[in-house]
Amino acid sequence: MSEYRSDLNPGAPRSPGALNLDALALALWVLAGLIVIGGQLGVALLEKSLCESQLNFAARKLTTLKTTHTQTEEALEKREQQIKRASALETQYAALLTDLIEIAKVDPDARLITQKWKIQQQGQSPAPEPAAKPSPEPQPTAPVKSKTSPVSSLKGNP
């Protein structure tokens, strides 16, 4: 029984079989540790490639977003310039049409243009069209009764 309880008595000599079991247990622990460490390294290598591909994707996406942002800013600047030009043209047209309305008060040609295109200032009712001479409406006539039939009148018979 002393052989099996040698670990309780540290000063007692050990048998050679007990040393082999201790060495075997230590070797198994080391082997298990190496397997765990090897598995962790394998997973780390797989995760590294996955992280690198995600990083590359994020970098490409960032580049695309920067390009899109730049293009959007340029388009916005162009749109603002177009709005300024359109506003300037609107002001010019408003001034031109206001002048045309003023001229239409004394010029018959300008009055015709404003009436044809129905140009008026906001808040005003449209100008009445000049009264044209009414053409005499044809008076309805009573049908004439003839003694001949319509067919006979086409043939030349009285």
Instruction: Write out pLDDT tens, residues 27-58.
Output: 999 999 999 999 999 999 999 989 999 999 99
| 11, part of any domain | no
pLDDT of residue 62: 97
Compute the mean pLDDT over every residue in the chain, rounded to the nearest whole number: 80
| 129, part of any domain | no
Residues 70-82: pLDDT tens digits? 999 999 999 999 9
| 137, part of any domain | no
| 135, part of any domain | no
Handedness of CA 100, 106, 112, 117 (dihedral sign): positive
Residue ranges making up the domain that contains 78 = 16-122
| 145, part of any domain | no
Q: Report whether pLDDT(134) > 70.
A: no
Query: pTM for the complete prediction?
Result: 0.44
| 42, part of any domain | yes
Please name the amino acid found at residue 109: D
| 89, part of any domain | yes
Q: Report whether pLDDT(153) > 50.
A: no
| 136, part of any domain | no
Please tell me which residue, 64 or 17, carries the higher pLDDT value: 64
pLDDT of residue 28: 95
Letter string b/e over residues 3-31, b meaning 16 or more CB atoms within 10 A of that residue's CB: eeeeeeeeeeeeeeeeeeeeeeeeeeeee
Structural domain count, the chain: 1
- Cβ-proximal residues to 13 (8 Å cutoff; 6+ apart), any chain: 6
Residues 85-120: pLDDT tens digits? 999 999 999 999 999 999 999 999 999 999 999 988
